[in-house]
Amino acid sequence: MLACDSNALRDTDQFTNLSRWALAAGCGAFTRSIGKTLFGEPATSSMPLTHRVVLLGISAIGRIAQFSGYRVARQVIYLLAAFALMVFPATRASAQVDVEKVPDARQTRPEKIDKVIVIDFEGEITYERERYFNAKFKQAQKVGCDVLIVEIDSPGGLKVESLKMARLIRDCKWAYTVVFIKNEAISGGALMSLGCDEIHISPNAKFGDIGEIGFDAEAFAWRLIEPKIESYLSRDARDLAQSKGRPADLAESMVDKDVVVFIKEDENGNSVFKTARVDDEQQPVAPWEIVPETGAERFLTLSGQRTKQLGVAQYFADSREEVLASFEGGKNSRVVEFQHTTTDSIVHWLNTPFLTGLLLVGGLVALYFELTAPGIGVGGLISALCATLFFWSRMSGGTSGWLEVILFIAGMIFLVMEIFVIPGTGIAGIGGGLLLLASVVLASQDFVVPQTVWDWNRLLVSLLTVICSCSIFLVAAFFITRSLGSIPIFNRLVLSPDGPAATVNADKNDKKEGADIDHPEISVGDWGKSQTQLRPSGRAVFNGRSFDVVSDGSFVEPDTQVKVIRIQGNVVTVAEVIQ
């Protein structure tokens, strides 16, 4: 990493030689005027390359003046000045760029309001809570309103999710945004509040403390993050505050525990802020006064009273009614409230990795059960229910749309084609499996290509959930294939075939009570012929009678010699006879 000191070139040899040799040639005043006209101040390491080239050139002229005399030096300096004047407009413009300036995102306060939407946001900021807020925000945008009020009561939480919600509020152009802080907006809650147009806060509420912590695997404990990572969050907090006209220095002090903020009043009576680090040798002096809430090893945390006094909040409010009363027509406005409901809780739990895996395993097992048993029964219904719950929870959570549903349906169609229409090629099956995988993964996240570390973590969680679910399904499928007929309750869910069918018994001498002894029986080792395609279930003929059978995993075409290899309960497993 490269570090630059802003005063690194102030007393360098180039600048010293510039004065020494130019004065020796009798042109010191002229060269100083050129430097001052071009740059307005002595050279710095942060100036553009063209500035430094000009200064080095003037320094070289000074050396020439020592040996060549005043006349030669003067002529060369005139040429150099002409060159400098040609590049002057571009260099001068680049020197005037204000690096602290960020786009102004403030909106004009509505003169009168008619419709207000309130989003209730309470509790810790998690990935699921961010999706809840995002879904409510989009819903509010569709409904439309004059003022959007976000009621925050949060101790904070995840950084990335907090920043996403803060930027979402900051970039809102379809409504005037207001944050009402009832009890506390700490950490991520304060970060969200910095992005709104107005902050209404209870006098006894708490605001600030945006210090970032991370988990130290070696110490197995939570620690404050490194300063180089902290600077990123500090920049975000400053930009959010400045974009809405709030003191950026106070926002920085909420993130950096070693930043001290000073305050004074300008000639217009407005508060002006200035920062310094606790280890700086020179600290601001009178008329600057330190903000008492800042200091060493202390993240800036303000009371509701101080939040308004320092200009971070705009109004005091103890209730929603007081917030509405601050707007003309607010008391009579139509209020639509989006609260955290039971449905939101269900959506939250269904989006957790554990219940997501449970839905996937349940759907796959039920589908396999349906394919191995004749007819359409409970297995198909359970599988359809699991798929419906999965996509409904994702669409309600804001991470899925109709594209993922279409991909899922297309994947199922390809798999059906592979089993019943074009078996054996594998292309349709592989394509269907990839489409199903893509639909499930994309439905579990709000991005397509991961851009940040958190995106990669979400992608990894989604893939691990799918892999674990498929592994559990394979074990369950193996168990079902071997033991379906003997599992209590499940052996009663298989639909009975139409027409006469034989009663199957693995042991001819051990007939079950109530069995139909008028039908012939079959046993392991009997040969027959497939009557329908076995994919893997179907029908086969033994001793002139039709039986419901299941192949050993391979697809068997009609009129193919088969052999009974296993009988368990009412499940007859056959294998193709290769002659």
Q: Which CATH superfamily is domain 498-576 in?
A: Nucleic acid-binding proteins (2.40.50.140)
CB 113 within 8 A of CB 329: yes
Contacts of residue 260, Cβ cutoff 8 Å, sequence gap at least 6: 253, 275, 276, 277, 278, 283, 290, 291, 294, 295, 296
- 476 vs 549: CA distance, rounded Å: 20
Which CATH number describes the domain made up of 115-338? 3.90.226.10
Look at strands 259-265 and 289-290 and give their pairing.
antiparallel
DSSP 488: T
Extents of the domains making up the chain: 13-95, 115-338, 346-486, 498-576
**What does the pLDDT read at residue 71?**
52
Handedness of CA 359, 365, 368, 373 (dihedral sign): negative
DSSP 486: G
**Per-residue tens of pLDDT for the chain, all 579 residues:** 323 333 333 333 443 343 343 434 444 444 444 444 444 444 444 444 444 555 555 555 554 544 444 455 555 555 555 555 444 444 444 334 444 578 899 999 998 999 999 999 999 998 888 888 998 999 999 999 999 999 999 999 988 899 999 999 999 999 999 999 999 999 999 999 999 999 999 999 999 999 887 766 666 666 777 766 667 888 999 999 999 999 999 999 999 988 999 999 988 888 999 999 988 888 898 899 999 998 888 899 999 999 999 999 999 999 999 999 999 999 999 999 998 888 888 888 898 889 999 999 999 888 887 776 655 578 888 989 999 999 998 888 778 888 999 999 998 888 878 776 666 667 888 888 899 999 999 998 888 888 877 788 888 989 999 999 989 988 888 877 666 555 544 544 444 444 444 444 434 444 433 333 333 478 888 888 888 888 777 888 888 888 888 887 777 888 888 988 888 767 788 888 876
**What does the pLDDT read at residue 15?**
36
In a 13 Å sphere around the CA of 558, the CA atoms on its Cβ side amount to 3
Burial class (CB in 10 A: 0-12, 13-18, 19+), 121: buried
Q: By C-alpha distance, which of 23, 77, 75, 26 is closest to 55? A: 77
Burial class (CB in 10 A: 0-12, 13-18, 19+), 379: buried
> Any idea which residue has 């309470």 for tokens?
122
